A = this chain, B = another copy of it.
Amino acid sequence: MNETIKLLMAHRSIRKYADKPVSREIVEQIIAAAQMASTSSNVQGYSVVAVTDPERKQKLSQLSGSQAYIVECPVFLVWCADLSRLKNAAQHHLPDTKSYEGATENFIVATVDTALAAQNAAIAAESLGLGIVYIGGIRNHIQQVTELLHLPELAFPVFGMCLGYPDQSPGQRPRLPQPAVLHWEEYNSAESEKQVAIYDEITSKYLRDRTGGAKDTPWSRLMAEKLANPSRLHMKEFLQQRGFKLD
């Protein structure tokens, strides 16, 4: 196993950070690595807002479910899907031509571009001894976050990312058995279901061991509850108001 694969295999989210700053140069190196990720037709449909101001981090934390690590991490990155550059270009070069920034296709392009770049950043950060955790909670009050960061139309926060030197060494949660995720030649639903049953036993035991027997909910039950949770139902309306019509 080479060094890079070792690094990828060792990933775990860090939610407790040492009181040690992350220099601007380090952030710029991490974002440079992010920018080298693949991008659909060179669209580069994302922007990053790096937040270090304690008051602003405090507000972002409150808007994201009051997660203390957003305040404690020295740098909080807000990863935004961003088609505003493309829209400006269209208005400048082809002012009388219909443009399709609202198409679901372009929403996918920008969201995927954002995630590919962010994952490169995560790996670059970890290779430098930093820890990270993705923050989906940034979408809890996405309108307020958008205002706080002065995002233009056609840019929205997809997720946040805490960045800092780890002050904890958590274990790794087991992932789905590979045959649940990797299929050969065509999708195999029967195999997937069999593997989920195996994973339910693994996750049940994992929770039991970690909680001294207090919890043992299997993964599929947690996922059923997740899907029953009417989470962030404002997303569609918010996106449409920001120019992502999803049509």
Taking Cβ atoms with an 8 Å cutoff, the residues of A that contact B are 1-5, 7-11, 13, 27-29, 31-33, 35-38, 40-44, 46-53, 56, 80, 83-90, 92-94, 97-101, 103-106, 108-109, 111-112, 115-116, 118-120, 122-124, 127-128, 132-134, 136, 139, 148-152, 155, 158-159, 172-173, 175-176, 178, 180-187, 189, 192-193, 196, 219-233, 235-236, 239, 246-247
A8: chain B residues within 8 A (beta carbon): 33, 36-37, 120, 123-124
Let me know if B227 and A42 touch, CB within 8 A: no
Among B51, B187, B223, point to the contact of A155 (Cβ < 8 A).
Answer: B187
In the complex the two chains form, is B90's CB within 8 Å of A224's CB?
A: yes
Besides A5-B29, A149-B186, A246-B246, 7 new A-B residue pairs in contact (Cβ under 8 A), listed by A number: A2-B127, A8-B123, A9-B32, A42-B222, A49-B183, A84-B192, A119-B119
Complex copy number for this chain: 2
Residues of B within 8 A of A56 (CB): 185
